[in-house]
Amino acid sequence: MTIQWFPGHMTAARKEAAKALALNDVVIEVCDARLPEASSNPMIRELRLHRQRPCLKLLNKADLADPAATQAWLDFYNRQPNVKAVALSCRKQGEAARVPVLCKALAPHRNDTFKPLRMLIMGIPNVGKSTLMNALLKRRVAAVGDEPAVTLQQQRIDISPTMSVTDTPGLMWPKIEHDSDGYMLAASHAIGRNAVIDSEVGIFLAGLLLQRYPALLAARYGIAVDGMDGVAAVEAIARKRGCISKGRHGGEPDLEKAAMILLTDYRSGKLGRISLETPENRAAMLAAGNTSSSE
């Protein structure tokens, strides 16, 4: 299964984002700390480089991610020109309060009422942009939900006489180049469920967890993971949790239900602190994908 998801409203959203970027000083790109590069929209990078805007790269949901992997990503991004990367949880207002100070450092010339600092929040769906907006303003001004594409239009608000922030709709790109990126995005709920098959996403996630976090998988579901692949792991979860199909093929593991249990546990952090990619293993994943697609 190749995963693609580019709802119609995102074409208009991209055009509006390009206009907004021209009127703002700093791009705050919100990514998912568990998959920072897979959740980084290449169109956002293209737009900000075209306008020569500095970027504050926020690795949000850091409380759900593997700390060692997050540090590796921070080192990776902070070596890039005109980029400052930080890891935080936008749900924690104290952590979100650091954002304006970090943006000021990226645009020190915008510091008074004549030249107020104008910040633009960008990112893919369901990474926490609206949560950040609400935290910065200390009140609920943006709709928040655990579903992709909740925000459908831009919203600009003054934080103070010397500072404003604009929230933008989640923005995907027209073609996801790497299958592994599509699966990681789907597993992390950045892609609408109508574009994916949950059982296949769950099997992909199980396979990845078997490689990187087998002990967490074994501990959560009480299964022996040695020698398993993704399908076997989801089947084992189905049996442990009583997900058995009825009807003509009764008695078989219900992979769809078991996959949703796994995906929900991963998304909520019940499995533990997990990162789906690091700078090192991302390169290996992409190389493996290119090899299989060329055979």
Q: Is 40 left (phi over 0), alpha (psi -120 to 50) or beta?
A: beta
Q: What is the reported pLDDT for 61?
A: 96
Predicted TM-score (pTM) of the model is 0.88
**Count of alpha carbons within 13 angstroms of residue 185, beta-carbon side:** 32
Q: How far apart are CA 101 and CA 105, in angstroms?
A: 7
- 269 and 156, same domain (yes or no): no
Q: What is the reported pLDDT for 285?
A: 79
Q: What is the reported pLDDT for 153?
A: 67
Q: What is the reported pLDDT for 142?
A: 61
- 18 and 113, same domain (yes or no): yes
- 162 and 202, same domain (yes or no): no
- 131 and 232, same domain (yes or no): no
What stretches in the chain show pLDDT beneath 70?
1-11, 142-153, 247-250, 289-295
What CATH code is carried by the domain that includes residue 87? 3.40.50.300
Domain count, the chain: 2
Residue type, 75: D
Q: What is the reported pLDDT for 152?
A: 52
Structural domain boundaries enclosing 91 = 9-167
Q: What is the reported pLDDT for 248?
A: 55
- 201 and 285, same domain (yes or no): yes
- 105 and 67, same domain (yes or no): yes
- 74 and 205, same domain (yes or no): no
- 220 and 150, same domain (yes or no): no
